[in-house]
Structure 1
Amino acid sequence: MLTSNGYRLDESTDRLGPLEPVPDDERGSRERLRARLDEHGYLYLRGQIDPSVVTDFRAHYFGRLAATGLVRTDRPAVDGIAAPADRLDRAALRHTLFSEIVPGPAYAALCGTPQVRDWFAWFLGGDVHLHRRKIIRHTRPDEHRDARTQGVGAATQAHYDLVYLRQGSDHVLSMWIPLGDCPRTLGGLVYLEGSHHRVRAEEAAGTRRPAASMTADLPALADRFDSRWLWADYAVGDVVVHTAHTVHAALDNVDRDGRLRLSTDIRYQRADEPIDQRWQHDWHDRDGL
């Protein structure tokens, strides 16, 4: 059973399906990748990043936050096993996250690794710009059951990225990187099949300009679009690249082993296209974006 913010997804074949990875024989062709991105709105690239690069950063992240009570200290930090919620020092976590990890060299190295930056330069065919505002998310198991968050919850609601990036190019591309293995039970991203075609048309016509997330009710949105949510069991090193018009959301973390889901969202574009200057500062969850 898959849920998002407590809403149970319709698992019928016309409302739920698998995310399709890019076939190996297309990985080296820009033309075929661009055609696939235009058709599907996403590129699911298995093994794009060396798993050791991702795992090293995962260990760094949870190791730096261990003293805040986020993870159990009787297990290796890289495992990311959640400590009891009442042990968490939220002020200490926020300080370490926003003052040390987000602006730190380890995070910059991950987001600018050649397997990412060079890939975007090749795919986009020119000099590229990485938006400085890069987002890291960790989600506790069963956080959606917390009465303080239920209904608006811990899981990312359905949205498309252009809503938050209107002062720059609409050709900006997002890359979602699961920082560790991320099976569906851990709360990975899901994509609304074909949604970018409808969103792009409505944006062009001026009939769709939401100010924020669309909804937490993923089943109702699938009905409205008459479409399927696409899921995957992501492995460490996998990434998904998606357009600014592609609707996506996150599942709830219902992991029975107590693992935190960890991921990052980064955005690249051609350097010669308009850049949203609001996104050229380090991410903070109170930055108003």
Structure 2
Amino acid sequence: MAINVRSNQGPTVPAQWLRQTPKDIPFDEMRQRLRSDGYVYVKNLLPREEVQSVRKEYNATTSAYFTLYEPTGIIKPGSFLEDGIFNDQNDPLAHGGIGAGELPPTDLQVQTMINAHTQPKYLQLLENPEFRTFVQGLMGWQKEILLTRTMIRHNAPGALSTAVHYDKLFLRKGEAEFLTAWVPIGDTKTTGGGLMYLSDSVLLGREIESDFSKRAKDLSHEERLSAFNVHMEKYGQLSQDASEFGDMHKVDGSRNWLVADYEAGDVVFHDPYIVHASTRNEGGDGRVRVSTDLRFYEEGSDMDDRWMKLWTPGDGL
């Protein structure tokens, strides 16, 4: 049964379900799935309560996401902070998250974006020992390195979501391959702004990147590394229209977008070249989607060291 979702532009996309992977199957089988599918969607990997506490701590401190963001006016007055219900009296385009487009219009919003990356509950989640051990086992690494530049962000109903892209576009420095972990911070329905993946698209991503490299051969070294050089689309994306992009790159008449009803505690690990985007947040419940993007390398590998610093506005990455 097809599930209809949308991206920033274009008509609805008839998507299919992502394949789920139990967290207790052998790592050899998981690695095979990562190679064949380009992703591993692991259910209930992280403790639900620990993930939810990043949205809103039950002891009402200022270290959780919506507690931090409440002064910006993004949350509906009188609602529970943990629910993250958008204040629909606002223009959603003025409450965008990292990577969706331009920075939000007020200094308070921008500073809140910066501060969100150093909150104790968030950092505690990133260091969860079972999570980090899982990454080692999945990749067969002795030791994993989490890049400092993580990206915790939100997607308000009606705002721009993350457009079509693959992650290697933004991490071109270094020869080593990395692993992305996408972590939904709270339950996220298919139409609520979660990630959707284009099936069988790892080779496609590699082909697109190879073409970009050929066209950038006369650029300076720094320009070739940039996801924003003269050969790239605005914001370093491939398209704002998932339907059109999928139709342009069908294989034997078929290549599907894949989605899920994500739950707090789920994690999707994916290949640097798999093509993906966020669905448009129009699920009808008014919830602001929160998630984080994490990138791991094997210790000692040739990694993109530009990302070994915290996200800041205008850092060129």
Determine if the TM-score, normalized by the shorter chain, exceeds 0.5. Answer: yes
2:239 counterpart letter in structure 1: T
Q: How many angstroms does 1:170 deviate by? A: 4.3
Residue 216 of structure 2 corresponds to residue 217 of structure 1: no
Q: After TM superposition, list the pairs within 5 Å mapping 1:1-289 onto structure 2.
A: 1-11=4-14, 16-22=15-21, 24=22, 27-59=24-56, 60-83=64-87, 84-85=89-90, 90-98=106-114, 100-124=115-139, 125-143=141-159, 154-201=160-207, 203=209, 206-209=210-213, 211=232, 212-226=236-250, 227-289=255-317
Is the contact between residue 170 and residue 244 of structure 1 (CA under 8 Å) also seen in structure 2? no
2: distance between equivalents of 1:277 and 1:229? 32
- For 2:226, the equivalent position in structure 1 comes to none
Q: Tell me, which stretches of 5 or more residues in structure 2 are unaligned?
A: 57-63, 96-104, 214-230
Task: Number of aligned residue pairs: give it.
Answer: 270
Is the contact between residue 66 and residue 73 of structure 1 (CA under 8 Å) also seen in structure 2? no
Pair 195,139 (structure 1): closer, same or farther in 2 beyond 3 Å: same
- The two structures have a TM-score, normalised by structure 1, of 0.87
Is the contact between residue 171 and residue 269 of structure 1 (CA under 8 Å) also seen in structure 2? yes
Is the contact between residue 144 and residue 296 of structure 2 (CA under 8 Å) also seen in structure 1? yes
Query: For 1:117-156, what per-residue CA distance to the aligned partner results, in whole angstroms no more than 9, with x for missing partners?
Result: 121122222111000001112111122xxxxxxxxxx111
Q: How many angstroms does 1:288 deviate by? A: 1.3
- The two structures have a TM-score, normalised by structure 2, of 0.80
Query: Percent identity among equivalent residues?
Result: 31
Q: How many angstroms does 1:197 deviate by? A: 2.3
Higher helix proportion: 1
Query: For 1:91-120, what per-residue CA distance to the aligned partner results, in whole angstroms no more than 9, with x for missing partners?
Result: 21221231x321233221112212321211
2: distance between equivalents of 1:169 and 1:105? 32
Q: Secondary structure at the match of 1:240?
A: strand
2: distance between equivalents of 1:111 and 1:71? 25
Is the contact between residue 157 and residue 286 of structure 2 (CA under 8 Å) also seen in structure 1? yes
Q: Secondary structure at the match of 1:138?
A: strand
- Runs of 4+ with deviation above 4 angstroms: 86-89
Supply the RMSD in Å over aligned alpha carbons.
1.9
Is the contact between residue 18 and residue 232 of structure 1 (CA under 8 Å) also seen in structure 2? yes
Q: How many angstroms does 1:64 deviate by? A: 1.4
- For 2:59, the equivalent position in structure 1 comes to none
Q: Tell me, which stretches of 5 or more residues in structure 1 are unaligned?
A: 144-153
1:91 counterpart letter in structure 2: D
Q: Secondary structure at the match of 1:74?
A: coil
Residues 238-247 or 79-88, more deviating: 79-88
Is the contact between residue 18 and residue 41 of structure 2 (CA under 8 Å) also seen in structure 1? yes
Q: How many angstroms does 1:67 deviate by? A: 1.7
Q: How many angstroms does 1:32 deviate by? A: 1.1
2: distance between equivalents of 1:183 and 1:222? 21
Q: Secondary structure at the match of 1:190?
A: strand
Q: Secondary structure at the match of 1:65?
A: helix
2:11 counterpart letter in structure 1: R
1:49 counterpart letter in structure 2: L
